[in-house]
Chain A
Amino acid sequence: MSSALQTPPPAPSAPRDAVAVTPRLRSTARRWVFWVVVVVLAVLGAGFAVLATASAIPDAGRYSIESAGPGGSKAVAEVLLQQGVDVVRADTLAEAQAAVAGHDATLLYTDPFGYLDAAKLRQLHGLGAELVLVDPSSAELSILAPGIAPAGVVEDSPTVDAGCTLPAAERAGIISRSGTTFRPVGGAAAVSCFRSFDDAFSVVQVQPADGGPVTVLGAGDVITNDAVAQNGNAALALGLLGAHPTLVWYLPTAADAAGTTPPTLGDLTPGWVTPVVLLALLVVVSAGVWRGRRFGAVVVENLPVTVRASETMEGRARLYARQGAYARALDALRIGTVSRLTETLALPRHAPVAEVALAAAAVAGLPTAGVYDTLVGAMPASERELLDYSDRLLTLEQAVHRATDPRQGPRQGP
């Protein structure tokens, strides 16, 4: 029950404002300012560190013409540019198609992550440019260069000789030997260079019936910054890639793969769904604040001990029951009955049980022997008998009580 009553305003000498326990925003802020500063500094420091190192980290992609690292191919691209070759970087098939269209072009293609599926590979094949495949997989070979098959990995031994009539290979003479090897199959007209063993070659060139020539370069190191300066690597790289005025450097990216999938759930849902989900999130958070904000501190109170007084009796009863102590239990019941009978029959407190039995039998009109047995004589042999005797004790007590109670019994009229 609460009510607001209007009372006159206080006298000028009113007491001062109540002391607030809740800290003010200012003092809370002062308490936390150290940690806020520490966290802000840490975040800023981490940001600066990332920015500072990010500019030094090259585009780490292997064969990337932007990368100056050991695995990149910036050196080859730069030299080709100086030599007047138009080096165009392509990240997607569409870009590659646009770059090749209408130009006399070489297309360097390597796809270690297998972004392009068969259909796209066929599109690539249909471009008509001269293809240079670096470390192609067998799936790619089967579409782009059906006359060439993989021939295993060569062990890293220093060099390998050209031994063929391909002009670029002849000029190179010796190249570093590493990577996979290939061999021509199916009797196709192929030029194979840099033989490692049996019929395993580092460079194989075929001239398919449709489209331009396809050169497979197994020794990918030839075009990397790390190894391009060794032996005749540079000569081979420039010879293979600089044959035409335009070089399209096509390294497929995830964008190629994405375009191929069917529309996702995200594409099909309307544009307002994400904002509504965000709004729902905000509503849940604000509802949490609404319900969860504590209305002052929790009030503590010492609670009294609560012990049920009959605990010890219950414990003792359970002990009797678990042990099956029927003899002891019956003893207790008999002592109780005998003492109550002694009182009811107005016998002396320490009267012998036999006397109590005699008096009870006389009052209740029962055979003395049976009453004596019930009160003390018989020993129970089982819990069954304990229950029997307990009932008999109760009956006896009630009989004696009825017989001695002046309000009941024979004296009471109908």
Chain B
Amino acid sequence: MSVSGRLVGLLAFGVVPVVVVGALYDQAFATLGVWVLLVVVLVVIDLVAAGSPRRVTLERALPSRVRLGETAASVLSVTNTGRRMLRAVVRDAWQPSAGPASNRSALVVPAGERRALTIALTPFRRGERRTETVTIRSFGPLHLAARQATLQAPGRIRVLPPFNSRKHLPSRLARLRELDGRASVMIRGQGTEFDSLREYVRGDDVRSIDWRATARHSDVMVRTWRPERDRRVVIVIDTGRTQAARIDDEPRLDTAFESSLLLAALATRAGDRVDLVAYDRRLRGRVHGASGPELLSRMVDAMAPIEPGLIEMDWTAVPGLVRQVTTQRSLVVLLTAIDAPGISRELLAIVPQLARDHLVVVASVTDPDVLASVQRRTDRDEVYRAAAAERALLDVARVTTVLKRYGADVVTASPAELPPALADRYLALKAAGRL
């Protein structure tokens, strides 16, 4: 049961008769009693006349997935199976991070009819967002008091990573096409393979004229070349505790997701096969053997519920994981944090082993805060901050040096720049034919 502000107002209005009758006839207490009794009677009438909040059927219509930052419409159909009119305020108990536009809506459902309640959800956190219950507060015709019941109506929506870095995709695809024989610019050399023969057009490199084919045809034929295809890319995402750190108000893990999505989109367009492994001490997510649009949708699906664990990454298992995915030489991208040498010791221990069989790229986010601190030196505290920042950068530089010496490639950039930087590195490696 619940009461409305109207009841409070009605009760408060009783002050008028109490004072008037009290001043004129000295019957203040009796008036008060009569007034309170009147209000109680009205409340009872209202409660009896209110539609039952339990005689209700609930149905949900809800998209199963929404990209972070986008808005989805959650439709809740309320059917009144009771005999009385339902004048209700309905609360759909979404988790706050599901971002419901409003969680209280007025709804009037005549007996035996159905009404739809549409709520716009704009989730602001990745992962599985749920609602378990719907609370209905059913007011009587006087709107003084209400009956209230909480009903089970589970619903869930999966919030996918936003893939904001897809804005970098067109320019990188254009660069990929430059590598490809479809563009007029011909790049021939290591890392390209024979694609097809076509007629010569003005501007083609004369060195690529295939004389034998020209002899067979009446026209001058040139060979076209394309970058090597069907290479493998294995993306390993560290989901351990260092990935929980926020840089530029984005956890390292989310930057890692953005980077791997852009890389995967590019690589699958380039004809390479991409596999994803998210791991800390147990397998948190895995995408294997998908390609094209399916690859991206399976990747975002696998990534959606992953949160950084508060445990240390177990790097010793990573070579085994990569071996499970493929035994052929591939590009292994380790998305992790490069920190002080002490923290990165395990990573440093496995890199030589991986680099022997594969091409290893370690991608890490650098903190723009640290870089900015180096330049700000106006007072004593800032100079000490700059010194600490230099020390942190030195630590990173040392780990980077060791990684490079062990044969790994290192990509570091700020959260906004890491995804394109990693994509560029991939293109560079592809152009150089090192895959």
Given the interface pairs A271-B26, A275-B28, the reply to whether A18 lies near B11 with Cβ below 8 Å is no
Write the A131-150 contact mask toward B (1 if CB under 8 angstroms, else 0): 00000000000000000000
A37 at the interface (CB under 8 A from B): no
Chain B residues 366 to 419 lying within 8 A of chain A, measured CB to CB, are 367, 369-370, 373-375, 377, 379-381, 383-394, 397
What distance in Å separates the Cβ of B122 from its nearest Cβ neighbour in chain A? 10
Q: Contacts of A394 on B, CB cut-off 8 Å?
A: 375, 377
A155 CA / B18 CA spacing, docked (Å): 64
Chain B residues 117 to 148 lying within 8 A of chain A, measured CB to CB, are 117-120, 125, 131-135, 137, 148
Q: Contacts of B393 on A, CB cut-off 8 Å?
A: 336
What distance in Å separates the Cβ of B5 from its nearest Cβ neighbour in chain A? 6
A297 CA / B373 CA spacing, docked (Å): 46
Contact status B377-A391, CB under 8 Å: yes
Chain A residues 254 to 293 lying within 8 A of chain B, measured CB to CB, are 270-272, 274-276, 278-280, 282-283, 286-287, 289-290, 293
**CB-nearest residue of chain B relative to A287?**
B8
Contact status B57-A332, CB under 8 Å: no
Contact status A295-B104, CB under 8 Å: yes
Partner of B388, one of A5, A6, A299, A317: A317
Contact status B120-A1, CB under 8 Å: yes
- Of B149-157, B199-207, B318-326, which binds chain A? B149-157
Write the A374-414 contact mask toward B (1 if CB under 8 angstroms, else 0): 00000000010011001100100000000000000000000
Contact status B377-A18, CB under 8 Å: no
Given the interface pairs A295-B135, A321-B380, A321-B384, the reply to whether A20 lies near B115 with Cβ below 8 Å is no
A274 CA / B26 CA spacing, docked (Å): 12
Q: Contacts of A275 on B, CB cut-off 8 Å?
A: 18, 22, 28-29, 31-32
What distance in Å separates the Cβ of B414 from its nearest Cβ neighbour in chain A? 11
Contact status A313-B388, CB under 8 Å: yes
What distance in Å separates the Cβ of B113 from its nearest Cβ neighbour in chain A? 5
Contact status A299-B94, CB under 8 Å: yes
A318 CA / B385 CA spacing, docked (Å): 8
Contact status B19-A309, CB under 8 Å: no
A145 CA / B164 CA spacing, docked (Å): 107
A158 at the interface (CB under 8 A from B): no
Q: Contacts of A210 on B, CB cut-off 8 Å?
A: none
A301 CA / B127 CA spacing, docked (Å): 12
Partner of A20, one of B18, B151, B377: B151
Partner of B114, one of A10, A296, A304: A10
Contact status B18-A272, CB under 8 Å: yes
Contact status A316-B394, CB under 8 Å: no
- Of B176-184, B230-238, B241-249, which binds chain A? B241-249
Chain B residues 226 to 277 lying within 8 A of chain A, measured CB to CB, are 244-247, 251-252
A226 CA / B49 CA spacing, docked (Å): 70
What distance in Å separates the Cβ of A68 from its nearest Cβ neighbour in chain B? 40
Contact status A4-B114, CB under 8 Å: no
Q: Contacts of A2 on B, CB cut-off 8 Å?
A: 101-102, 105, 117-119
Q: Contacts of A8 on B, CB cut-off 8 Å?
A: 114
Given the interface pairs A18-B151, A275-B32, the reply to whether A332 lies near B251 with Cβ below 8 Å is no
What distance in Å separates the Cβ of B32 from its nearest Cβ neighbour in chain A? 4
**CB-nearest residue of chain B relative to A3?**
B118
Contact status A310-B367, CB under 8 Å: yes
A55 at the interface (CB under 8 A from B): no
Contact status B102-A18, CB under 8 Å: no
A335 at the interface (CB under 8 A from B): yes
Chain B residues 201 to 227 lying within 8 A of chain A, measured CB to CB, are none
Write the A307-347 contact mask toward B (1 if CB under 8 angstroms, else 0): 11111111011101100000011101101100100000000
Number of interface residues of B (CB under 8 A): 99
Given the interface pairs A290-B3, A306-B246, the reply to whether A276 lies near B380 with Cβ below 8 Å is no
Contact status A1-B390, CB under 8 Å: no
What distance in Å separates the Cβ of B132 from its nearest Cβ neighbour in chain A? 8
Q: Contacts of B8 on A, CB cut-off 8 Å?
A: 283, 286-287, 290
Write the B164-199 contact mask toward A (1 if CB under 8 angstroms, else 0): 000000000000000000000000000000000000
Contact status A296-B150, CB under 8 Å: yes
B12 at the interface (CB under 8 A from A): yes
Contact status B59-A329, CB under 8 Å: no
Chain A residues 132 to 183 lying within 8 A of chain B, measured CB to CB, are none
Contact status A279-B18, CB under 8 Å: yes
A54 at the interface (CB under 8 A from B): no
Chain B residues 75 to 126 lying within 8 A of chain A, measured CB to CB, are 77, 79, 81, 89, 91, 93-97, 101-102, 104-105, 107-108, 112-120, 125
A386 CA / B244 CA spacing, docked (Å): 35
Contact status A274-B383, CB under 8 Å: no
Contact status A15-B57, CB under 8 Å: yes
A295 CA / B77 CA spacing, docked (Å): 19
What distance in Å separates the Cβ of A56 from its nearest Cβ neighbour in chain B? 36
Contact status B23-A270, CB under 8 Å: yes
What distance in Å separates the Cβ of A277 from its nearest Cβ neighbour in chain B? 10
Contact status B152-A18, CB under 8 Å: yes
A19 at the interface (CB under 8 A from B): yes
B308 at the interface (CB under 8 A from A): yes
A308 CA / B394 CA spacing, docked (Å): 20
B359 at the interface (CB under 8 A from A): no
B38 at the interface (CB under 8 A from A): no
Contact status B149-A335, CB under 8 Å: no
A214 CA / B391 CA spacing, docked (Å): 108
What distance in Å separates the Cβ of A275 from its nearest Cβ neighbour in chain B? 4
B310 at the interface (CB under 8 A from A): yes
Contact status A19-B151, CB under 8 Å: yes
Given the interface pairs A17-B55, A18-B58, the reply to whether A305 lies near B14 with Cβ below 8 Å is no
B37 at the interface (CB under 8 A from A): no
Contact status A271-B245, CB under 8 Å: no
Partner of A279, one of B14, B151, B387, B397: B14
A26 at the interface (CB under 8 A from B): no
Q: Contacts of B3 on A, CB cut-off 8 Å?
A: 286, 289-290, 293
Q: Contacts of B134 on A, CB cut-off 8 Å?
A: 18, 296
Contact status B381-A17, CB under 8 Å: no
A304 CA / B91 CA spacing, docked (Å): 25
Given the interface pairs A286-B3, A336-B394, the reply to whether A15 lies near B252 with Cβ below 8 Å is no
Given the interface pairs A18-B56, A286-B3, A332-B390, the reply to whether A5 lies near B116 with Cβ below 8 Å is yes
Contact status A6-B115, CB under 8 Å: yes
A1 CA / B391 CA spacing, docked (Å): 51
Q: Contacts of B149 on A, CB cut-off 8 Å?
A: 20-22
Partner of B384, one of A7, A310, A317: A317
**CB-nearest residue of chain B relative to A289?**
B3
Q: Which 10 pairs of residues, A with B, have the shortest CB-CB distance? A: A272-B22, A296-B135, A329-B387, A336-B390, A272-B28, A309-B245, A317-B388, A2-B105, A18-B151, A316-B388
Selected A-B contacts with CB under 8 Å, 5 pairs: A6-B115, A21-B133, A275-B31, A276-B18, A289-B2
Binding site for A on B (CB under 8 A): 1-5, 7-8, 11-12, 14-15, 18-19, 21-23, 26, 28-29, 31-32, 35-36, 54-59, 77, 79, 81, 89, 91, 93-97, 101-102, 104-105, 107-108, 112-120, 125, 131-135, 137, 148-153, 244-247, 251-252, 307-308, 310, 367, 369-370, 373-375, 377, 379-381, 383-394, 397
Apart from A17-B55, A276-B28, A317-B389: 6 A-B pairs, beta carbons within 8 A: A4-B117, A5-B115, A18-B58, A309-B367, A316-B391, A329-B387
